[in-house]
Amino acid sequence: MSTQSFKFDIYVNYKGNCADAFQFYEKHLGGKITSMATFRDQPEPGNIPMSWEDKILHARMEIGGAVLMGADIPTAEPMRSAYLTLRFDKAEEAERIYAILSDGGQVFMKMEETPFASRFAMLRDRFGINWMLMHENQDVNG
């Protein structure tokens, strides 16, 4: 088996609120924004409407040992069948983050116990991003 020469990251398109989402995740999830460029920053902005000059062309953040990247795209569709998933070491932390991300969002499955997790929830946050939150049962982790 050969070692892989790439990293697996996540890229999410937002419909105009990428900066707000990244700042929210940085504040509440402990992420660190490492770069954020606007359409105005491009050498040749092209046909970008003036109202989009301050929208995000490309953003990058480190969060939970992963890299999340994103951009504002006028025609972006909110995530529907893909989920960003957070696995927690403590059930209490899962509950705390559930309260934060579900505020102003839509809960698909409220935080509860399942056969595979002591705490599990599915929701869409106020920015249109789907999340799964889980604190796995100890026997699942080995």
Is 50 in the same domain as 107?
no
Does this model's pTM top 0.75? My answer is yes
Q: What angle do CA 101, 79, 70 make, to 5 degrees?
A: 80
Beta-carbon count within 10 A of 80 CB: 9
Number of domains in the chain: 2
Per-residue tokens: 11? 């890229």
Sign of CA dihedral 54, 13, 32, 36: negative
Is 72 in the same domain as 98?
no
27-47 pLDDT, tens digit each: 999 999 999 999 988 877 677
39-75 pLDDT, tens digit each: 988 877 677 777 889 999 999 999 999 999 999 998 8
Is 54 in the same domain as 15?
yes
Q: Is residue 92 part of a domain?
A: yes
Is 66 in the same domain as 100?
no
Last residue of a domain, one of 76, 111, 130: 76
What's the CA gap between 21 and 24, in Å, rounded?
A: 5
Domain membership of residue 108 as a residue range: 78-142
Is 49 in the same domain as 83?
no
What's the CA gap between 57 and 40, in Å, rounded?
A: 8
In angstroms and rounded to an integer, the radius of gyration of the C-alpha atoms of the chain is 17
Is 57 in the same domain as 95?
no
85-128 pLDDT, tens digit each: 999 999 999 999 999 999 999 999 999 999 999 999 999 999 99
Last residue of a domain, one of 53, 76, 99: 76
Beta-carbon count within 10 A of 141 CB: 8
